[in-house]
Structure 1
Amino acid sequence: MDQGLAKKLFEEGAFLILVDMPKGTEFGMDWNSWITGPKFKGVKMIPPGLHFIFYSSNGKHGGHSSPRSGFFHFFKQREIFISHWDVNNEEIQFSHKSVDEMNSLRENLKNLDKNLAPYPYDTLEKWVSLTDWINNDVMVKLQPENGKIQSVPELISESNVSPSGREMSEESVKVPRSSAVDEDGLPILKPKPGTEIKFSMIPKQWYPPNATPHEISKHSVDSSYILGQIIKNSSQPEDLLGELQFAFVCFVLGQVLDAFEQWKSLVNVLCSCDDLLKEHQKLYESLLTVFYHQLNEIPKDFFVDVVSSNNFLVSTLTILFSNLQTEGIDASLQKRGKQFQKYLTKKFKWNFKSEPDDWAPVVVEI
């Protein structure tokens, strides 16, 4: 990198300071990961905007990596974000410093320079293309109350959770033991309150309450009703794209299985929309771009079910491409849909011409 540019980025970029992170820790930011050395103390020249920091310790597991953890943060220009390594819990803890301490640290940045890894700008464009719809409001809305994204959820007994969703103290737990086990006698566990990602609720039933048999049949193949309900609970329709990207990052980089399930559910709802699609054509123009960047980052056979040999994405995207060609859809969006379908067929050898099994008519008896 040109020295003049490097100096400017050092002066204008943000800093992530990590105190006492042990040697041999897997540490990553955005689409990059490293194994830390003995002198590592953080990252410099971070471009302003959203970033995802993740890590996995090798400390207490005999050389085996611990489950991955991470967090999102919107870095401001010239911000210094300080954190330290918690030896007991083997995780990053956020540090709060006084104004005087921060000023002293800023004056000492050049002395820390040799211990700070430069942000890898060669992957910035990819990172931005995969997260450009995650604004600060979307991040705050979705991230857990404790701010941590954990690949392995912290679980507690259902009997230790109050009706308000808060964890109860041992003294206040008076629920009989039988209420905390399932029919097989196994304890019923739930994520510890404050640790779960606050994804949008997507009901399995897509039809409204008290729906007639005809309405049930209609909404079983057209997700317009349930998509409309999700959009009503969002600040703007595009927040769905932010959640789709948030879930994708949490799964791919955070290794959160529940995030993958949420991603699949969102994809299914968005691709199965017919009537409401005409009202949100700009949303679908952007959705095709989001899909393009996400699908370029996964293996070709990732979504193939080993047992059924059924590709989830082929069936859902077949429905989307069909809906994009219906009457009332703008010609430019129809063209984009055809171009994207052609691109996927060429890249992945996916066949979008055969009718999916779940397109069989849904018959509701009266």
Structure 2
Amino acid sequence: MASSSSSVDMDPDVARRLFEEGATLVLLGVPQGTEFGIDCKSWQVGPRFRGVKMIPPGLHFLNYCSVNAPSCGGEIGPKTGHFLTLKPREILLGNWDPKEEALDFSASKNEEEVSRIRATLRELDPYLGPYPYEVMRKWVSLTDRLSEEMANNLQPLSGRICAFADVVPEVEFRHTKDRAEQPRNDTACQSMREGLDRLPRMKQREGTEVRFSVIPEKTYPPGATPAEITKCSMDLSYALETVLEKNHKQQPLNLLGELQFAFVCFLIGNVYEGFEHWKSLLTLLCRSEEAMRKHKELYLGLIAVLYHQLGEIPPDFFVDIVSQNNFLTSTLQDFFQFASGPSVDGTLRKRAEKFKAHLTKKFRWDFDADLDDCAPVVVELPEGVTVD
């Protein structure tokens, strides 16, 4: 790695323990200049790079993006990431696939190959960069609710999380006859709509989709009355309970792990879908008044998760994305309003008050301002339902 020296000196006992118990990533063939990172730190790969050593056992997020040679413009490609769970003294072997511009870990299943690497580990040592231990506390704070099982269940079946979706045509035109029946592109389009209609319809390649929980489009139960629809549109508890029942029935607090997974995918992996899902989950949680009274531990955990997440986002980030349509401040304003209710658990209410004061001081957000949209909530009525 280029310039991999840490600004924080590691305690000798910690260094010794990591040297003895830490896992090792042996990564062969990674092109020089590749942007490479693990957890919350990244580097540019140098000519001697062969991997990372002294990695604390547990869950980690490996990420990288290829870089063209300076003669080709030096452009940086889209980022690819892998959630990996490493055991003590484990050796994980990855080979660079130049065609895919990604790491292939299939060699790790070859015990003979791994044994060969283990036997030559001493010779490899000078080419292995040490894990950036100074980011470990930050990484744990961002993933303490995310288990190995959850990460495996959420990440794509391919094992790769890509910043740009891998898409293929919905219909493969393998025969000349099939292609002939499609709209011709040799004449000028009369409108933008016509041009878009001529493009083949695309879908994400099977196995590359992040497997997030599905957020219900309708926030109310089937057969709901207009009054129930209005209630469920203002208090999203029904929709939240639907997500918990379908995806996290045994452990509702696992929803916080999914929130962390989505946040890491966006913050470190540059996956915009992760940001959108983080927003959707946060909206569900913050605007569910009834659920707040029922799931005390879930909401105490939410405050802790958000405390660390918002502490890691650069201040100018809010100007560009989070403050778009005032999403975060208005969502948290609803959360603090519901959390201050008399029927909310006292511990949760006090913790929410402290969190509100912290955010007000750090970001100078005003959560006590009057809500902008005092107009009635416009809701979608089921087919056949009319309001006289």
- TM-score, with normalisation over the residues of structure 1? 0.90
Cα distance in 2 for residues equivalent to 1:305 and 1:24: 29
Residue 106 of structure 1 and its aligned partner are, at CA, apart by 1.4
Match of 2:30 in 1: 21
State the superposition RMSD in angstroms. Answer: 2.4
Aligned residue for 1:259, secondary structure, equals helix
Distance in 2 (CA, whole Å) between partners of 1:237 and 1:2 is 38
**Distance in 2 (alpha carbons) for counterparts of 1:129 and 1:226:** 28
Match in the other structure for 1:318? 333
Instruction: Please state if 1:120 is matched with 2:145.
Output: no
Q: Which residue of 2 aligns with 1:32?
A: 41
Q: 2:225 aligns with which of 208, 212, 215?
A: 212
Counterpart in the other structure of 1:189: 202
Structure of greater Rg: 2
1:82 equivalenced with 2:97 (yes/no): no
Distance of 2:168 and 2:229 partners within structure 1: 37
In the alignment, what sits opposite 1:93? 104
| TM-score (norm. length: structure 2) | 0.86
Q: Secondary structure at the match of 1:67?
A: coil
Which residue does 1:165 correspond to in 2? none
CA distance in structure 2 between the partners assigned to 1:63 and 1:50 by the alignment:
32
Alpha-carbon distance change, 296 to 15 in structure 1, aligned in 2, over 3 angstroms: same
DSSP 3-state at the match of 1:159: coil
For 1:202, which of 198, 208, 215 is the aligned residue? Answer: 215
Q: Evaluate the alpha carbon distance shift between residue 174 and residue 211 of structure 1 in structure 2; reply closer, same or farther with a 3 A threshold.
A: farther
Q: Out of 145-154 and 234-243, give the one that drifted further.
A: 234-243
Q: Give the letter aligned to residue 54 of structure 2.
A: M
Structure 1 consecutive aligned stretches of length 4 or more whose deviation exceeds 3 Å: 1-5, 173-178, 303-306, 363-366
Equivalent residue for 1:232, pick from 225, 245, 259: 245
Give the conservation status (yes or no) of the 8 Å contact 1:59–1:90: no
- Give unmatched runs, 5+ long, in structure 2: 1-9, 184-192, 380-386
Distance 2:45 2:357 in 1: 43
**AA aligned opposite 1:145:** L
8 A Cα contact 2:93 2:114, kept in partner: no
In the TM superposition, 1:151-166 aligns within 5 A as 151-160=163-172
Helix, strand or coil at the partner of 1:88 = coil
Whether 2:21 is the aligned partner of 1:46: answer no
Provide structure 1 residue ranges, at least 5 long, that are not aligned to the other structure.
Answer: 161-168
Between the aligned partners of 1:311 and 1:156, the Cα distance in structure 2 is 35
Aligned to 1:328: 343
Name the counterpart of 2:4.
Answer: none
Contact kept in structure 2, 1:303 and 1:311, CA below 8 Å: no
1:30 maps to a residue whose letter is D
The answer to whether structure 1 residue 71 and structure 2 residue 86 are counterparts is: no
SS of equivalent to 2:96: strand
Aligned residues: 355
1:263 corresponds to: 278
Counterparts of 2:122 and 2:159 in 1: how far apart (Å)?
30
